[in-house]
Amino acid sequence: MQLIFDRIEIADGHRAALGGSPDGEHVVDQFVVGVAPSIAAAHVFDLGAQAHSWSWSIAADVAGGCTLRSVSIVLRVVDARGPLRMFRHGYQSWSPCDVAVFGLHRDPSFAEGSLELVRGVHQADQRVVSDPDELRSEWLTLLVDDSGSPVLIGFDGGDRHDGTFRLRSGVDGPELWCEAFLGDALLAAGEERHLHDLLIAGGAPSDVLLAGWATHAGRVGRARVHAPYQVGWCSWYHYFHDVTETDLDHNLALADPWPFDVFQLDDGYQAAIGDWLITNEKFPSEVGAIADRIAAAGRTPGIWIAPFLAAPDSRIATEHPEWLATFPDGSPLITMFNPPWGGGLGGFMYGLDTTHPEVLEHLEHLAGTLVDVGFDYLKLDFTFSPSYDGVWHDPSRTPAQRVRAGYDAIRRGAGEAFLLGCGSPQSAVVGVVDGNRIGPDVAPSWPIEAKTDPLAGYRGSQPSTRNAWFNTAARSFMHRRLWLNDPDCLMLRNAETELTSEQMRTWALAVGMSGGMALVSDDLALVGPEGRALLDEAIALGRASDAAARDGGVPTSPELLLGPTPGMLSTRSSALTVDPESGGSQVE
């Protein structure tokens, strides 16, 4: 299998034939595209792979500005032997990672009943794909055929624009469109934008290629990878939205014998989505007093916020309607639906406009205030919100730049506090988060709970421990190269759960062997001696695996390309094989 440079494509089908050469500048309608091999190609990867990179840029015609949806380098796939398979890397934290067969599987947007609001959560481009055979991957991908020699293609960053790989049917066979997605950003007359470098590597196993790419992308993005290994408690997976101050104090009182560094209050304390400094009737204390009690118990206080969302009846939305992004008709842009939040429109939430200077000042002040009152650990959730199509204060910003601007404002306010990204477009947050969620929510069940209504096309994003396992294995290579991986919480309780003891153990071993963050999310009164022993085992595994990761020995998923979903997670000394249907596992 080979990838051969063919042409440049602008936006929705405007074409320039380039005669098979990537060098030089090429005029396409109102744009000039420059593509050239990078002089740094020889040392992009240092793990034995054969790699090269292309640098490119796009400029608007000097006669006038115009909007740009996307620009793509198109590569022809030639001499493929047998079925062509694609590793599909998900867009944000919860978006599934899997391996699809070209011509057999479908893009999730193509599913009957797929909703635009949901597509915007899980894809950089929220539209339905135009080609029924098209497969998409975000930020990076691997292609492999029956020769067994994979090729990695990836962008070296994502804070300037998203990067989407589209495997499509072409006139002469399959084509890979390597797309810089700018989301209808407005380019001023004569403006030039340097796009993220495109990397292509082969000649090595998939785990080596992924490790090399992540190491390089982390270096380019100045990844924050030096925070300590994290052990803690989180309120979410036992109490959910119904958590009370009494529940928090109850677990804090039981925590003395437990090895928690962080004690994190999750969703349920706030007066409204968007009003994070005001508690509701379930929390008589102010947020600062809550932080003080956690700190007095010897733990780092942590708190959850969804900083880019605002409930329609929240104080922030009603007092500052000018801070909201809008639909073209001027109504507030809806970027999330979660019925338990209420909010005046049955759970529909508005998106704050992170291109508005006052919104950025608000976010910086919010983070600074939370840190000042004692919270040195901030969990930032549902942070895909600024990526939606809409009308924004600054139309020149891409969706990725809107996401990153919000994160950068929070980092300015938070100083050196630990920031955990969640629901985050993965490529946009390298260099600003310390930890990052890499999979869907776990749940007190192995498969998707029967009461959960699966989203058309996006079952793999739904809360379940099975789905969390898949992404933990598939994204294991990112740990300590791009951030600290957060596989999501351990589940240890022996009551109020549908997990069997074997499934509970499988997940604990997966979290431990991944080296990622280890947070418990149970009512501690329901965790018996067996659960506590399992936690101690997971932490011991986690500390050893994390220490190895500091030396470059990040866990791998060596059989990643052999099936639709990963079935193994390996470290230098052992391997965990998981049966995805039963949740059983074996360690070798």
Tell me how far apart the terminal alpha carbons of the chain are, to the nearest angstrom.
34
CA atoms within 13 A on the CB side of 88: 26
Query: pLDDT value at position 28?
Result: 66
Contact predicate 122/90, CB 8 Å: yes
Quote the CA–CA distance of 337 and 453 in Å, as a whole number.
14
Q: What is the DSSP annotation of 313-381?
A: TSHHHHH-GGGB-B-TTSSBPEEEE-GGG-TTTTTEEEEB-TTSHHHHHHHHHHHHHHHHTT--EEEE-
Based on its alpha-carbon atoms, the radius of gyration of the chain, rounded to whole angstroms, reads 23
The model's pLDDT over 253-305, given as tens digits with 9 standing for 90+, comes to 999 999 999 999 999 999 999 999 999 999 999 999 999 999 999 999 999 99
Quote the CA–CA distance of 355 and 181 in Å, as a whole number.
18
Query: pLDDT value at position 226?
Result: 97
Query: pLDDT value at position 16?
Result: 47
Query: pLDDT value at position 548?
Result: 96
The answer to whether position 284 is within a domain reads no
Quote the CA–CA distance of 288 and 524 in Å, as a whole number.
24
Quote the CA–CA distance of 78 and 1 in Å, as a whole number.
6
CB neighbours of 264 closer than 8 A, spacing ≥ 6?
Answer: 232, 233, 234, 235, 301, 302, 303, 304, 377, 379, 519
The answer to whether position 294 is within a domain reads no
Give the count of domains, the chain: 1
The answer to whether position 45 is within a domain reads yes
The answer to whether position 206 is within a domain reads yes
* CA-closest candidate to residue 489, choices 515, 505, 511, 470: 511
Contact predicate 307/421, CB 8 Å: no
The answer to whether position 14 is within a domain reads yes
The answer to whether position 184 is within a domain reads yes
The answer to whether position 56 is within a domain reads yes
287-296 vs 245-254: helix crossing angle, rounded to 10 = 10
The answer to whether position 312 is within a domain reads no
Residue 417 has a CB neighbour count (10 Å cut-off) of 19
Which residues lie across from 154 on neighbouring strands? 140, 199
Query: pLDDT value at position 8?
Result: 87
Residue 83 has a CB neighbour count (10 Å cut-off) of 12
Annotated catalytic sites, by residue? 381, 441
What residues make up the domain containing 105?
2-220
Query: pLDDT value at position 46?
Result: 55
Query: pLDDT value at position 48?
Result: 57
Quote the CA–CA distance of 539 and 531 in Å, as a whole number.
12
Residue 74 has a CB neighbour count (10 Å cut-off) of 20
Residue numbers of the chain with a pLDDT score lower than 50: 13-17, 19, 39-42
